[in-house]
Structure 1
Amino acid sequence: MAYDQANTYETIELFGLTEKDAHLPIPENHILTDSIIRETFEALLGQLRNTGLETEIEPLAHGLATILQRRKIVIGKELDRTADKIGALAKSHDGSEIAETALEESQGRFSHLREIVGAIEVMSEAAAECYEFETGHAFIPAAGSRASAKAQETGAVFEAKQLLEQHDRETAAKSKVEGVPLIVSGATDWTDIDVIFSTLDKVRARIKQTRNQEIFLCHKGGKHGAEMIAARWARARGIPQARFDPRWSAHGRAAPFKCNDEMLDDKFAATGVVLFGGNGVALNLGQKAEAKGITVMRVADPAKKTADN
């Protein structure tokens, strides 16, 4: 099929240009201002100088700058709606995979929109400068206002921003989890509560003694066995927990192993791993942790020891 014979949909399919592809890079600022905006103005308006259409330079330049100004407002509103959606999803999060996926998608969309808004802001300001250069007049949008926030910031606006920033800091402080991560995993058929409680008590005491820090528990949110008992221990001791739920629809059978990778991510800097019995997933977690130089404690199931004897 020749390229010039391809219809729009075939071209999109051929080159993979779908709206879901948010991984393409945003051009750098100098490209946005020089290679895109200034060259666009010159290409459109340059040939109109000293011609009978020179009187059209002013309205055309104003139109170009206004298009970008309006687009910035539209995307800015979508960014605000996405921020509100993230807040609502975070408040209503029920720990399900569906809720987790929706929250992650909204966060990804928010980050991408923020990059776009920043790029459009740069282009909009460059277009306004081009208009002023071409006409000698200050650019005033046909609707709305020219969002040069720094130029318009009054004392009241500054105080309002300071208040919001203080609120954000206080909220973040309340939500911040202090301490070091301790990863727990194990067999789903584990039933001995006392062994898990006593083991985690000893590990906690040892870490507080050697590092003078409290722990917080990381696990995959298992509803049965070792992880469920460990979660009960954390609640009983007032220890915060971080749950890494497997995303089955996204990763299929590899979901628990993906959770292992997430818990062992360097940004969490886990202090150790405790395995209470376990299966292939727990074995994988222990091997990966040791490969990273993380201490792994393996605790055998007393019930199975008795059965073997």
Structure 2
Amino acid sequence: MTFSLHAFSASDTRFDVQAAALEDIRPHPTEDALVQLGHVLMTELIDLIGDTALEDVQTILCESLIGAFHSAAGRIERDGDRARDRMRLLERDFDGSELADTELQEATRVTRAADVAQAAAELVRDAAAEVYTTQTGEVWTAWRGSRRGTRMTAAQLEAKAAIRAVERRRRGEADPGGPVVAFRAAPFADSAEDAQRIFDALNWAKSEWPDMALATTGAKGAERIAIRWAQQKSVTLVLARADFDRHGKAAPFRANDDLLALEPTCCLTLAQSLELGRAERSHPFGPALNLAQQATARGVRHVAILAKAA
């Protein structure tokens, strides 16, 4: 399959305009072409390994493909940051000479080109992740570092970085953003009824706090459903991952400590599946109950997600 390239036109997207502004004699792929590439790569991979012996490792293969473009975007970003630092240094020491002007122009060109290349990698990554979610129901999240959102996806922050921002805000420094809504739920609460009520609860939260960020541990099941909602609504994600290597069995509860360190405005919990059959076969999820208990003890608003009234 081939992907079309074309020059700048009035109908192009923001990415296309940014790419055309580089005035590189070589054309850039259009945003539509990059998105199509991401869709095709993931679709081909899933179609190829589905119903084969490799289906058992489908999640690993798919998430590795998405992660490759995420890693590429990160490497390009670091190259761009180095060029940006050089550009600032050249601007500071600029003496008006022709050599200094040439060096500054080149550093500026490299910086702008890196920004476009990073955005291109993120477009492919997010498009592949979108197909992965659509076809498998799973949600990809970056397991290292943060992820800047492109198109209609959500930005993603690591909890430790967000906690540092909260501490800076407490000291009177820059406000990191809107209110945080924490969400903790049972991994087995992933039925259609659970998903509907999770979306209802999160939609309610967003109506209460339109600029909210969603904080969760990123665990499978119900919390992945919440992440999917955030991606659809372009809501910033803050991931407080459970570190089992460091904390062992206590990891899910230590993750709750990170969630509460974010000073959430509200905590939403779903400790048990709302589907009657599942609820009868399972016990309430301890970490969700723990977060509810801690939130109440600290005076943080807590809302338990319940079945829809008949």
TM-score (ref. length: structure 2): 0.40
Structure 1 or 2, whichever has the larger Rg, is 1
Please identify which structure carries the higher helix content. 1
